[in-house]
Amino acid sequence: MVTMFRADATFLSELDRILEGICRKLQLTPTQHDLARQHYEAVGNWLEHEGSILAPYHPKIYPQGSLAMGITNKPLGKEEYDLDFICELSIPWWTISPEDLVSKFEYRIREHQDYTARMERGNRCIRLTYAHNFHLDIVPACSNKGLGYGQIRIPDKKAKSWKDSNSKDYIKWFNKRARQSRRVDSAEPLPLQESLEEKPALKCAVQLFKRHRDVAFRNMLDLAPVSIVLGTLCAIHYQGQESVGEAVAGILNGIAQSIAQNQGSILLVLNPANKVREDLGERWKNAEAYEKFVVWIGEFNKLWLELSNAKGYPEISRLLETLFDEQPTRDVIREDAVQVGNIRGTGQLGILPGSGTLTSQPGAIHIPKNTFYGN
Amino acid sequence: MVTKKFPQRPIPLLEQIVMMKKHFPDFHLQWRKNIVTWIGDIQPSQLSRCYRVKISHGLHRAPHVYVLKPDLADGSNGEAIPHTYPGKRLCLYHPKKREWSQQKYVSETIVPWTSLWLFYYEIWQITGKWMGGGEHPDLKRRRKRTLSYLLKHFKSD
């Protein structure tokens, strides 16, 4: 299965602009970002404050997952973002049970009146819900530096045993993959928000994969491929394309090829950054989930090919709505129309000789004022 | 001294043809009797479709613009295409605002407006909203009628 993206460079760069617009619609707003940062820093201060039972363990709180990589997506059909954090503590993991660690953490959080009202306890994390449509999920973790930089042990899903993890190294690995392209990337370890102009194509691609996953699996959430698997597969198969459209095409192609090479046996996706072997594709032990994933990749590839050959806003919009849902797509397309209106308002809108294409370039045929009339 | 203003002369058809040839050399030309017809392709933006349009122009009537292909389609719920006259002729300007006159070049007014119309037409197809501004004569008349009815009603009370 080979996806050939239409070679027309101007079409591609315009399509990229739309795809990047969709990513912008999906991610946290800069205001939400600043607020989230303030809130988690405040939690961090509270945890290490004098008198805290956690203070002796030097708690360090940091974003993990999509937030740390700058690829946060708004969940489908909801307004509230999940923002994930790790709170790393210098406690030897063998001296405490996972459940006790979460309880200890909860105890300290509850000592703060404001947090008590916002707090919910999950199996292995503490959730703090805030106005402005986001909540922070904080997982307490034990440092395990003996194994190397960034290695931690976190409670497993049910907080019954320990699980090795390495969020920091994963982010480093991911960012390195993203920097293959010549597009600029900030070297910040925690790029809380990147403007899209400098957002690497890989990051946009992951956002789009995750969003299409949310749309395609909306009625079978428990079979959907998990985010870290998608992010890892995207990073592995990304080949430095500068165009988001081409990056997605290349990644789809790469995944499809490795599925084919595996001849029916389940694709193994290991955490590339964990010093301990970590199979990220645990969900695929359920054969049905893996089958659905394979079918999904094939359909995604087909839609992407159609998109590359689409003609006209209505067809492009129809395909993008199938892929990423109505709202972000139409919002971005409406913005295009508003933008044309704005340029027209400044008197700088013209058309190119020959094709009649609208442009704000100098030397174009100026469009005089008109009033569309009739019914 | 008072200078008397003479109306500007209409632009002769030959001059219109020369300007059109200059800006849109690929447009196909027909000149029959007193009507010039151009047929050519316009692509309003890189993401828009390419539309084949027919523009006919004569000295004694306003230019007519039709889209030959692809067929202009009604909205997804059957709504009529906004800013068209019967027969899907495009309404590009307000006839009473002198936006178009025989003293203007078709290639510098009608063609750019057609491109703009086509751009907004595609957006309308998606969103159901005409985002290019403009006026609807019927609506205005209807509003006037409602207003006069209300005034009358109000007086008689």
pLDDT of A274: 85
Residue B7 lies in a domain: no
Percent of chain A at pLDDT > 90 equals 74
Q: Which residue of A has its CA nearest to B19?
A: A353
Decide: A126 and A91 in contact? Cβ < 8 Å: no
Residue B28 lies in a domain: yes
Residue B8 lies in a domain: no
Confidence of residue A4 (pLDDT cuts 50, 70, 90): low
pLDDT of A363: 85
Residue B26 has its nearest CB partner, among A312, A338, A354, at: A354
pLDDT of B150: 59
pLDDT of A213: 97
Residue B87 lies in a domain: yes
Residue B5 lies in a domain: no
Model-level pTM? Answer: 0.90
Q: How many domains does chain B have?
A: 1
Confidence of residue A185 (pLDDT cuts 50, 70, 90): very low
pLDDT of A189: 35
Residue A203 burial (C-beta neighbours within 10 Å; 0-12, 13-18, 19+): buried
pLDDT of A188: 36
Confidence of residue B137 (pLDDT cuts 50, 70, 90): confident
Confidence of residue B156 (pLDDT cuts 50, 70, 90): very low
pLDDT of A184: 47
**Residue B98, domain extent:** 13-153
Q: What is the 3-state secondary structure (H, E, C) of A130-195?
A: ECCCEEEEEEEEEECHHHCCCCEEEECCCCCCEEEECHHHHHHHHHHHHCCCCCCCCCCCCCCCCC
Residue B71 lies in a domain: yes
B12 near A CB under 8 A: no
Contact B82 A375 (CB under 8 A): yes
How far apart are the C-alpha atoms of B67 and B52, rounded to whole Å? Answer: 6
- CB < 8 Å to A370, chain B: 92-94, 99-100, 109, 113, 116
- CB < 8 Å to B135, chain A: 371-373
Joined together, the tokens standing for residue B42 give 């316009």
Contact B115 A357 (CB under 8 A): yes
Instruction: Check the CA dihedral A142-A146-A150-A156 and report its sign.
Output: negative
- Mean pLDDT along residues A23-43: 91
pLDDT, tens digit, 9 for 90 and up, residues B19-66: 999 999 999 999 998 999 999 999 999 999 999 999 999 999 899 999
Is pLDDT at A196 greater than 60 in this prediction?
no
Is pLDDT at A79 greater than 90 in this prediction?
no
pLDDT of B4: 56
Q: Which residue of B has its CA nearest to A360?
A: B45
Domains and CATH numbers, chain A: 9-26+191-366 (1.10.1410.40), 30-159 (3.30.460.10)
pLDDT, tens digit, 9 for 90 and up, residues A242-286: 999 999 999 999 999 999 999 889 999 999 988 888 889 989 999
Contact B94 A311 (CB under 8 A): no
Q: What CATH number is given to the structural domain containing B78?
A: 3.10.110
pLDDT of A149: 84
DSSP B136: -
State the ipTM, two decimals: 0.87
- CB < 8 Å to B137, chain A: 373-375
Residue B26 lies in a domain: yes
Question: Of the given ranges (A115-119, A194-198, A225-229, B112-116), which has the lowest mean pLDDT?
Answer: A194-198
Contact A372 B122 (CB under 8 A): no
B142 near A CB under 8 A: no
pLDDT, tens digit, 9 for 90 and up, residues A295-331: 999 999 999 999 999 999 999 999 999 999 999 999 9
B88 near A CB under 8 A: no
Q: Mean pLDDT over all residues of chain A?
A: 90
Residue B91 lies in a domain: yes
Is pLDDT at B75 greater than 70 in this prediction?
yes
